[in-house]
Amino acid sequence: MNLFVEAWHYLTTAANWSGPTGIGERLLQHLWYSLLAVGLSAVIAVPVGLLVGHTRRGAAVVVGVANAVRALPTLGLLTFVVLLLGLGLLPPLLALLTVGIPPLLAGAYAGIAAVDPAVVDASRAMGMTESQVLLRVEVPNALPVLLTGLRGATLQVVATATIAAYVNLGGLGRYIFDGIGLYRYDRVLVGALLVAALALALDGLLALAVRASEPGTGRLRRLTTPDSPRFPGLRRIRRPRR
């Protein structure tokens, strides 16, 4: 019980939230590492997943690569990359790509592959090019699955980004690794609680994005139309009846 009391006391002390080693700065560092890893993972995985889902070619290769990358031990890979490249941001970033790419790749492929073939055939019959079919028809219908993959990748990257402290970088992992080294397990608990809180907050935001992107709900349209409650001063101009 004393462990939780000490952790709570550390979290509620205002002085621990400020300064270059404070909780606020560590949160920003952790968020930066996570967003950078998720962004790079999306740049790599999403185009490949969209292409494979659209053409229906190479699906077995995509599934095999995703499963192989997912099976890599992150900390062992980080140690190996550090031995090759030295310390810095690049080794943990490469290690985080192994947990960010598989969910995004699977979500992009599964989302496009699950689009109703009748809708795709109808768009082609209307004269759309393949790129138009992909961007205007398949991607909007696959958006909830795509965002679900982004949601999974974000959670895994945020939880794993603590390894940045293993190579002498910042982030919330500093509380965990420093606490273990100093036998201050209340600091370890502080780091774990902060990582969990950050992951839950981002998961909640992405869950709302997934819900708003569901086709047929009109939620995204209601957020941007003049009649939306978010624009109370604007009203659609109606023509008078003759």
**How many other C-beta atoms lie within 10 A of the C-beta of residue 22?**
14
Q: What is the pLDDT of residue 192?
A: 93
Q: What is the pLDDT of residue 217?
A: 53
Token code pair at residue 76:
């062992």
Q: What is the pLDDT of residue 240?
A: 45
pLDDT: is 196 or 233 the higher one?
196
**Statement: the pTM of the whole predicted model exceeds 0.75:** yes
Name the pLDDT band for 222 (thresholds 50, 70, 90).
very low
pLDDT digits (tens, 9 = 90+) for 58-83: 888 877 887 888 888 888 888 888 88
| Amino acid symbol at 145 | V
d(CA 176, CA 184): 9
Assess contact for 171 and 29: CB atoms under 8 A: yes
pLDDT digits (tens, 9 = 90+) for 23-39: 999 999 999 999 999 99
Token code pair at residue 77:
């890979």
pLDDT digits (tens, 9 = 90+) for 168-183: 888 999 999 999 988 8
List the CATH code of the domain at 27-210: 1.10.3720.10
Name the pLDDT band for 88 (thresholds 50, 70, 90).
confident
- Measure the N-to-C terminal CA separation of the chain; round to a whole number of Å: 77
Q: What is the pLDDT of residue 229?
A: 43
pLDDT digits (tens, 9 = 90+) for 134-158: 888 889 898 999 999 999 999 999 9
Kindly state the average pLDDT of the residues 115-136: 87
Give Cα 150 distance to the centre of its chain.
4
Q: What is the pLDDT of residue 1?
A: 58
Which of 77, 79, 88, 106 has its CA nearest to residue 33? 88
d(CA 67, CA 197): 28
Assess contact for 153 and 202: CB atoms under 8 A: no
| CA–CA–CA angle 86, 89, 95 (5° rounding) | 85
Q: What is the pLDDT of residue 216?
A: 62
Q: What is the pLDDT of residue 227?
A: 47
Give domain limits for the chain: 27-210
Q: What is the pLDDT of residue 58?
A: 80
Which of 57, 45, 48 has its CA nearest to residue 149? 45
Average pLDDT, the chain: 84
Residue 85 buriedness (CB in 10 A; 0-12 / 13-18 / 19+): exposed
113-151 burial, b at 16+ Cβ within 10 Å, e below that, comes to: bebeeeebeebeeeebeeeebbeebbbebbbbbbbbbbb
Q: What is the pLDDT of residue 63?
A: 78
Token code pair at residue 126:
């209307």
